[in-house]
Structures are given as C-alpha cells and as structure tokens.
C-alpha cells in the first residue's frame, strides 16, 4: 500500500511540478482603478503599475515620506488626574462615567503616510491596441505591459532594485524608431519640477507639517504645510534619468521627451529628509537631493542587464526559500488547467463562484510572501496598513501602524515563511515607540516602563490618540499595543535562537513593557490582578442598566496579553540566566492574574463580567488572543477553554472584513479544524469590487489580489498566508505539528522551506491522502526535535527516532510537557539533532 501511495505521489509531482505552476498575476486590460493596479517595491520605493496604453501612470511611494515631525511627549498634562476617578467609577460599576472620564486621558492623533507622486508616460498613438497583456511576475518581482498598435508591439518592463535603490523602467518597440513618449512627474503634495539636463528631470517637494486622519473632519484645514519651527514637514526629492536611449532625448519642465527610439531605459529614485523619529525632518534632516543623486549615479554606472541580474539575485535570496504545491490528490483535471489559463481577475471570479483551484491558493500564498519582501526590508521602515503603497494625502486610517492587531498581523508570516530578516524593521519601530512610550507611561499614568496604545507612526507616537478627547475610548485608550508588539521580539528568538538579539534588544524592550504592565495592574475585591480602565478592541458591551459600555475592568484580551508578556519575559530571563528577582516578581504576579471565564453561552467571556455584546457579530475577536497569536489556549492543553473559544467563533460567525476573516483562519487552524479554516480562506479569496469603507459589505480580495477590508489593507494578505501556514505547520506548543489543520481539499501537496520554532526548517514535506510520505528537517541549532504527525514514520538515515515521552527537553519549547491527550490519529516522536544537520523521515 505504501509503495502504491508513493508511486501516486511521484506521478502527481511529475504532472504538477512546482516550477510549472505559473506565479503570475495577469490581465487582458489596463487597471480600471487603483485596486487593479499592480504593486512592485523594494521595501523603500513602491510603485503601482496601471498598465494604461496612451497615458501610463506609475504611482510612486517612498516609505519614509510621512507628514509631521517628532512627537509631543506630554500633550495632556491633566491626564493622570482622571485615573483615580475612572477606577472609582468602575468600582461603582458606573461604566458610562468611566467611559467619559477615560476620554479625557487622550493625546494627539498620529501623522499620515503620504504619496510621493506619479511618473506619467504619454505615448501619442492614433490606433487602437490589440493583443493587450499586463502581468506581475512574483517569481522575478517584475511587471510587464505589452500591446500592439498599427503593427508595432510595445513593451514596458519594470522592477524595483533593492541593491541599487532605484526603479527601473524599460520601454521597447519591436520595430526600429517607433518609440515616442513623454515622461513627466507630478505630486499631490507641494512640489516643483526642474530640469537637471537633457537626460534628467527632478521633482522636489515638501510634506505637510500635519495631516488629520481621514475620519477626523472637525478642522477647517485638515492638511497643514506651514511650520515656522522647521521641525514638522519633511522634504522629498524624485529624479528620473535616462540610462540608455537609442533615440533623441530632450528635457524641460514638462518632462523628458524621447523620440525615434527603439529601446529606452529610465532610472527613478527618491529620498526624503527623514533623519530618525526624534530629529526635526526639516532643519535637522538628511540631504535628500544628495541621497537621490548618489543612488542614481551608482545605478547608472551599470548596464540594464547588470541591474536586472543583481535585482534577481537579491529577490531570489528571499523568495526562493519556500515553495508550495497544493492539489486535491488526483491528476490535474481539465478544469484546473482551464483555470490556470485564465486571467487573474476571471480566475478569481471563477473561484468565487465555486471552482476548485488549489494552484490559485498557492499563488495567493506566494503573493503574500512577495508583498512582505517588497514592503519590509532590513534597515527600512515596517510595512504599514497599506504596506508601502498609498495614493492618498489623507489615506484610510492615516495608513499608519495600527497596533491593536493590524501591524502585528503584517508580521505573523515573517518567521514561519522563512523571511525572518524582514521582521527587523518592526523591531526598530518598537525601539522608537518604547522611547516615546517611557514618557507616555510616566506622563499619562505615573508608571514605569513603557506603553503604547492603538496606533503609531514613523515618529513613534505612543499616547492614547483621539485629539484630546474626541476619540472613542474603546480603541483610542486601549493600552496594550506595546505589550503585544513584544510578542514578536520573543518569537523571533524562539525561531532563530539568536541570544545576542535576545540579550541586547528583545529582553530590555520586553522588560520595559512588563514593568509598565506590573505597575498598571491593581487588585480587585477578590485579590485578582486586573487592568482598569480596560477595553477590548473594538467591541462594546451592554451594561446591567441597559446602556452601552466601552470601558470596564480586566478584559480578556488585556489579561491574555499581559499573561503572554510575563511568560515570555520569564522564559527569556531563564534563557539568559539573568534578572532572577524580576523573574520571581512576574511569576508571582502572573499567578494572580484574573483567570479566563466561560460565559453563560459556553463562550469565552470577553469582559470581566458576562456582559452581552452590542454587536454579537463584531469583526474583532480580540478576546481569543490566547488562542492566536498567543499560546495559552489550545485543544491539546486546555480543551475546555478551546471548546469555549470554538463556541465564541460560532457565535461571532464567519462574516467580517478582510483582515477579520484572515484572523479567523488562524483561529480555526489553531483549533485544528482545517475544513473550517479552508472555508474562510475561500471567503477571503472572494473577488471584491468594494472601494469604500462600508463594513457591512464583507471583505474579500480585489482583482490585484490585495485584501479588501474594505478599503485595501495589506494585513489581510499577511494574515491569510499566516493562516495557511498554520494549517500546514504549528510549533507554538510543545512540538512541531505537521499538517496540523489539513483540510480535505488539500489531500496532496508539497511544501519546502517553512520554519518552526527551535531553529528547525522543513526542507521538504510531501503528503498524499492526508498522510506524510516524506519529510526532511534541518536543525540549525541542534537539540531535541519533537514532531507530531498524522501517520507512522520511520527514520531513513539511521536517526534515533522514538515515541515522545514526558517534557520536551528543547529549551525553545519551554520544557513543555507532552499533553496527556491528543488526536488519536497523530503520532509524536522525538529524535536528537545536531546543528546544521538534515534528517529524513518516511512513511512506515
């Protein structure tokens, strides 16, 4: 039987070779709106390619281009005077008063991520295009537009080079001398165009000193440019240079004019005067013009082919680490082949209408990894709400770093999908936020350590937002943003084993957040430690008097995050063998935290008391943090709480915005219910044309595979592929669980390159009919490898494989005990490993 299954698996692989799956998004028409344009980027420079014929628009971004300047660390000196009053009101269960008082403890809104401008390419065609084609090749990180007019085929190819920090645009005609166009620049911000020489033009501008959030409309002038202090509003520069041109080039303030050419290459680069979160971007800013000139000079010394090859080498060093092939277990049916031959928008529509298309799911997975590579690079800024792609001066939610779920979701797949280095920009942001957060903790709460709230920006803002009392406390005053961010620090250590990072970066930041939480906790009448005031983003309860309540005590999310943080700091202290007194303090306080409660409906209670929800179907499911991304609730370790979490999800329902559905995929995967997770993945991949912010219309996926909140938010893309990874591999508990939540629809497949905690890489995992045929595991750090699998395996190369018993001695698993119960169909094995050795296990 085993030989037969292996034969079928080999046959399936030959029919479905990974390299044969087309990792392209392609279309038969130009983009009709921004959500059909195609994103390319290098972590700093971003482009949205529309693919228009006569007037192409390349919408440009630079990741450090934000409004504003360094934060005001004490915008509301009266804030701490309200804290005792709030706690008194909560003791008296006067939730309405507590909410109104909490609103008085607000500071300023974040600044906004701004658009750089556009490169507009106008070609004077008289005929109509035929054979139109537009694509995004995520195997090479390139975008191509091609069409034929009057017998001439025109091609535009674009990529954004990380090694050379330039955007490269190549325009070609297949007949000599037929390429004529004008390339000009423009911006929605204040700017001025200039001519450098006959082969180069520039655009220089200034970002606003302040931009109000798009949802805040109480100021007559929501965008302010003038700032006499020269401390708010950064400068920016964009330059376009002809690298090669076999025609004639002329430049004036209207742009570059190219005539009678066949092959032209343009180089674009941009920079801002941003010089750090605590520096005035104008008077203390960097020389943005010199930065751009240096980028262009370096790139211009190379040929197009050299630029392209260096781009590919860099990009492939990240992208090629992981491959994924999913099938239903049978030979490729004709309807699957037909689906793969369709343009992406038509294919997505067919999938929405019920077609089975596992290769589209694989494409979506790799597209998510592509987006992270393109929007988050070491040394740069983290991916914001829209990655690095934004066309609006006042973008939705300021396109900031929303840290009550969204920014964290952006980085859920980083470690698992073998893109660990791309996590680093988030760590740098945490450092900045912790710096301002120390002042916020002291000035708003009289507490030690550091704190951050609902959202932040490139300036590291950490105060409760709301413009001094105009925001809703249910999101603005939630004080656990910093504590949640710290989970990423410890998870990076658990995946990589980087002791230097843990000692010098992660532990000091985690300890600071824990110090704040330790001060923030107070004892309730029963002696439990609770948070007060406390909210659960972004839900509202019905108080006993029938009124709506936003602020209460010890929401489940608050306590779950603090328990997670304390646990991580305790384990980090043990790993470093330091800080024993603080460790003992946290162990004691953790033992007194308000416990999980199961409500009257069998659900996990969201608030201190078993209140009813104003909106039982609310998109946030914040109180399930302990299930995911936390590790306090799991079917294997806490079956009763896991059942309550399941009931919570059943009551909440499957509807929601894009990122909400993505989070629910992760929840159901952690509950080991692959079929329900897959149901939500299909709903996440439903095509959407919604472009407003109407929450009532369920989120999905735009034709360019961007996630529809609506509007576009990139977190749904990252959360979706995180959930897909959790379906295939989980390592948050005591072992590495392979195929932990495999849906029936993924009967067969192969994945290469996923990472697990403890420094393990799944070099290759092949399965058929839900059973593992072969798995190859590389151990980077050595130590015990404990795996949980759906069928019996045996070692293929003399590995000492034995049934697991007792505690997992691997320190990255917290010396976790093997659960007493587990799925009867799974097998759990231990085998010792050595650093940088590879181990192969096959079906027994």
Whether the pLDDT of residue 2 is over 60: the answer is no
- Integer CA distances (angstroms), 818 to 270, 418, 740, in order: 54, 27, 16
Rounded-to-integer distance, Cα 417 and Cα 377, Å: 15
Rounded-to-integer distance, Cα 94 and Cα 543, Å: 9
**Are 241 and 294 contacting, i.e. CB atoms less than 8 angstroms apart?**
no
Whether the pLDDT of residue 487 is over 80: the answer is yes
Whether the pLDDT of residue 477 is over 60: the answer is yes
Whether the pLDDT of residue 699 is over 90: the answer is no
User: Would you tell me the crossing angle of helices 304-319 and 358-375 to the nearest 10 degrees?
Assistant: 110
Residue 330 pLDDT level (bands cut at 50, 70, 90): low
Rounded-to-integer distance, Cα 306 and Cα 298, Å: 12
pLDDT reported for residue 186? 98
Q: Bridge-partner residues for 624, per DSSP?
A: none
- The string of pLDDT tens digits covering residues 385-398 is 999 999 999 999 99
Rounded-to-integer distance, Cα 254 and Cα 165, Å: 25
- The string of pLDDT tens digits covering residues 639-689 is 999 999 999 999 999 988 899 999 999 999 999 999 999 999 999 999 997
Which residues, 6 or more positions from 243, have their beta carbon under 8 angstroms from its beta carbon? 168, 265, 266, 267, 299, 300, 304
Residue 5 pLDDT level (bands cut at 50, 70, 90): very low
Q: Where are the alpha helices (DSSP H) in 198-343?
A: 288-300, 304-319, 334-340
Tokens for 219, please give them: 């100021």
Rounded-to-integer distance, Cα 430 and Cα 435, Å: 9
pLDDT reported for residue 618? 82
Work out the average pLDDT over 402-407.
Answer: 97
Q: Where are the beta strands (DSSP E) in 511-641?
A: 522-523, 529-530, 541-542, 548-549, 612-613
Work out the average pLDDT over 560-567.
Answer: 98
pLDDT reported for residue 6? 37
Q: Look over the chain and give the mean of its residue pLDDT values, rounded to a whole number.
A: 94
- The string of pLDDT tens digits covering residues 93-126 is 999 999 999 999 999 999 999 999 999 999 999 9
Residue 17 pLDDT level (bands cut at 50, 70, 90): very low
- How many other CB atoms sit within 10 Å of the CB of residue 416? 25
Rounded-to-integer distance, Cα 349 and Cα 355, Å: 9
pLDDT reported for residue 821? 61
pLDDT reported for residue 798? 76
Tokens for 162, please give them: 């990380």
pLDDT reported for residue 619? 83
Work out the average pLDDT over 489-515.
Answer: 98
Which residues, 6 or more positions from 297, have their beta carbon under 8 angstroms from its beta carbon? none
- Integer CA distances (angstroms), 400 to 57, 236, 411, 709, 712, in order: 25, 19, 15, 15, 13
pLDDT reported for residue 825? 78
Residue 615 pLDDT level (bands cut at 50, 70, 90): confident
Instruction: Sort 812 into a burial class: Cβ within 10 Å, 0-12 / 13-18 / 19+.
Output: buried
pLDDT reported for residue 333? 56
pLDDT reported for residue 499? 98
Whether the pLDDT of residue 278 is over 70: the answer is yes
Rounded-to-integer distance, Cα 219 and Cα 468, Å: 14
Residue 13 pLDDT level (bands cut at 50, 70, 90): very low
Residue 19 pLDDT level (bands cut at 50, 70, 90): very low
pLDDT reported for residue 697? 52
**Are 720 and 410 contacting, i.e. CB atoms less than 8 angstroms apart?**
no
Which residues, 6 or more positions from 799, have their beta carbon under 8 angstroms from its beta carbon? 831, 839, 840, 841
Tokens for 357, please give them: 């298309």
Percentage of the chain modeled with pLDDT above 90 = 90
Half-sphere exposure of residue 793: CA atoms within 13 angstroms, side-chain side: 35
Question: Which three-class secondary structure string do you get for 220-254?
Answer: CCCEECCCCCCCCCCEEEEEEEEEEECCEEEEECC
Dihedral pair phi/psi, residue 167, rounded to 5°: -95, 130
Whether the pLDDT of residue 518 is over 50: the answer is yes
Whether the pLDDT of residue 441 is over 70: the answer is yes
Q: Where are the alpha helices (DSSP H) in 32-119?
A: 83-91, 95-102
User: Would you tell me the crossing angle of helices 556-576 and 507-520 to the nearest 10 degrees?
Assistant: 140
Dihedral pair phi/psi, residue 834, rounded to 5°: -120, 150
pLDDT reported for residue 815? 64
Dihedral pair phi/psi, residue 626, rounded to 5°: -65, -20
**Are 755 and 762 contacting, i.e. CB atoms less than 8 angstroms apart?**
yes
- The string of pLDDT tens digits covering residues 227-242 is 999 999 999 999 999 9
Percentage of the chain modeled with pLDDT above 70 = 94
- How many other CB atoms sit within 10 Å of the CB of residue 526? 7
Q: Which residues of 283-303 are buried (b: 16+ CB within 10 A; e: fewer)?
A: eebbebbebbbebbeebbebe
pLDDT reported for residue 758? 98
Work out the average pLDDT over 515-543.
Answer: 96
Dihedral pair phi/psi, residue 609, rounded to 5°: -115, 165
Tokens for 586, please give them: 């946290």
pLDDT reported for residue 692? 46
Pairing of strands 529-530, 117-122: unpaired
Return the DSSP state at 144. Answer: E
Dihedral pair phi/psi, residue 109, rounded to 5°: -75, 160
pLDDT reported for residue 8? 34
Whether the pLDDT of residue 695 is over 90: the answer is no
Work out the average pLDDT over 137-158.
Answer: 98
Work out the average pLDDT over 356-377.
Answer: 98
Q: How many residues does the chain have?
A: 844
Rounded-to-integer distance, Cα 157 and Cα 136, Å: 10
Q: Where are the beta strands (DSSP E) in 174-234?
A: 179-186, 190-197, 200-206, 210-211, 223-224
**Are 322 and 751 contacting, i.e. CB atoms less than 8 angstroms apart?**
yes
Residue 340 pLDDT level (bands cut at 50, 70, 90): confident
pLDDT reported for residue 820? 62
Whether the pLDDT of residue 15 is over 50: the answer is no
Rounded-to-integer distance, Cα 387 and Cα 596, Å: 35
């Amino acid at each position: 039987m085993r030989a037969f299954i292996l034969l079928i698996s080999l046959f399936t692989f030959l029919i479905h070779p990974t390299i044969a799956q087309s990792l392209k998004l392609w279309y038969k028409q130009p983009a009709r709106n921004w959500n059909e344009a195609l994103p390319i980027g290098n972590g700093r420079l971003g482009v949205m390619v529309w693919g228009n014929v006569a007037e192409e628009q390349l919408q440009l971004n630079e990741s450090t281009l934000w409004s504003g300047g360094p934060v005001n660390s004490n915008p509301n000196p009266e804030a701490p005077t309200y804290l005792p009053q709030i706690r008194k009101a909560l003791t008296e269960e006067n939730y309405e008063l507590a909410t109104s008082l909490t609103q008085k403890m607000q500071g300023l809104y974040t600044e906004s991520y701004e658009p750089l401008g556009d490169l507009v390419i106008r070609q004077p065609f008289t005929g109509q295009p035929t054979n139109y084609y537009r694509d995004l090749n995520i195997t090479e990180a390139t975008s191509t537009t091609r069409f034929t007019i009057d017998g001439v085929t025109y091609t535009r190819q674009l990529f954004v080079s990380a090694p050379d920090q330039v955007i490269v645009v190549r325009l070609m005609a297949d007949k000599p001398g037929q390429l004529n166009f004008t390339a000009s620049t423009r911006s929605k911000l204040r700017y001025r165009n200039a001519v450098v020489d006959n082969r180069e033009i520039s655009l220089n501008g200034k970002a606003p000193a302040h931009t109000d959030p798009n949802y805040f409309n109480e100021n007559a002038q929501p965008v302010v440019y003038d700032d006499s202090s020269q401390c708010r509003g950064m400068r920016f520069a964009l330059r376009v240079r002809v690298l090669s041109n076999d025609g004639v080039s002329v430049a004036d303030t209207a742009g570059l004019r190219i005539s009678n050419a066949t092959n032209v290459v343009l180089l674009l680069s941009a920079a801002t005067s941003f010089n750090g979160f605590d520096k005035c971007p104008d008077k203390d800013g960097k020389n943005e013009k010199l930065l751009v000139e240096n980028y262009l000079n370096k790139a211009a010394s190379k040929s197009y082919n050299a630029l392209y090859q260096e781009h590919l080498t860099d990009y492939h060093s990240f992208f090629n680490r992981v491959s994924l092939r999913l099938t239903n277990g049978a030979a490729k049916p004709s309807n699957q082949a037909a689906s793969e031959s369709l343009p992406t928008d038509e294919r997505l529509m067919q999938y929405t209408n019920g077609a089975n298309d596992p290769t589209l799911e694989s494409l979506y997975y790799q597209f998510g990894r592509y987006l992270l590579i393109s929007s988050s690079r070491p040394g740069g800024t983290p991916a914001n709400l829209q990655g690095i792609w934004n066309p609006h001066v006042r973008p939705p939610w300021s396109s900031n770093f929303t840290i009550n779920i969204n920014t964290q979701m952006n980085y859920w797949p980083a470690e698992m999908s073998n893109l660990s280095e791309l996590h680093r920009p988030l760590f740098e942001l945490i450092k900045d936020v912790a710096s301002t957060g120390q002042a916020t903790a002291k000035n708003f709460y009289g507490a030690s350590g550091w704190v951050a709230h609902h959202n932040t920006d490139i300036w590291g803002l950490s105060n409760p937002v709301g413009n001094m009392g105009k925001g809703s406390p249910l999101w603005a005053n939630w004080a656990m943003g910093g504590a949640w961010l710290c989970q990423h620090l410890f998870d990076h250590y658990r995946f990589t084993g980087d002791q230097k990072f843990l000692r010098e970066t992660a532990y000091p930041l985690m300890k600071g957040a824990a110090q704040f939480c330790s001060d923030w906790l107070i004892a309730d009448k029963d002696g439990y430690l609770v948070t007060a005031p406390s909210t659960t983003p972004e839900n509202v309860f019905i108080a006993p008097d029938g009124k709506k309540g936003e602020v209460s005590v010890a929401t489940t999310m608050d306590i779950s995050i603090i328990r997670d943080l304390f646990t991580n700091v305790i384990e980090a202290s043990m790993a470093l063998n330091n800080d024993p007194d603080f460790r003992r303090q946290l162990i004691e306080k953790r033992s007194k935290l308000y416990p999980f409660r199961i409500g009257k409906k069998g659900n996990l209670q969201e608030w201190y008391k078993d209140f009813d929800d104003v909106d039982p179907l609310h998109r946030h499911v914040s109180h399930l943090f302990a299930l995911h991304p936390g590790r306090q609730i799991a079917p294997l370790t806490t079956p009763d709480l896991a059942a309550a979490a399941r009931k919570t999800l059943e009551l909440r329902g499957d509807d929601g915005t894009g990122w909400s559905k993505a989070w629910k995929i992760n929840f159901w995967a952690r509950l080991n219910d692959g079929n329900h997770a897959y149901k939500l993945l299909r709903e996440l991949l439903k095509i959407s044309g919604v472009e407003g912010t109407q929450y009532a219309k369920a989120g999905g996926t735009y034709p360019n595979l961007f996630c529809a909140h609506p509007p576009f938010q990139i977190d749904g893309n990252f959360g979706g592929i995180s959930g897909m990874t959790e379906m295939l591999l989980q390592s948050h508990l005591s072992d590495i669980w392979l195929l932990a939540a495999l849906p029936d629809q993924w009967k067969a497949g192969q994945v290469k390159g996923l990472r697990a905690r403890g420094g393990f890489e799944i070099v290759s995992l092949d399965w058929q009919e839900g059973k593992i045929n072969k798995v190859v595991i590389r151990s980077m750090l050595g130590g015990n490898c404990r795996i949980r699998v759906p069928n019996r395996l045996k070692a293929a190369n003399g590995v000492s494989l034995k049934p697991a018993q007792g505690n997992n001695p691997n320190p990255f698993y917290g010396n976790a005990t093997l659960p007493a119960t587990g799925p009867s169909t799974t097998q759990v094995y231990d085998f010792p490993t050595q650093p940088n050795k590879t181990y192969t296990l096959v079906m027994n």
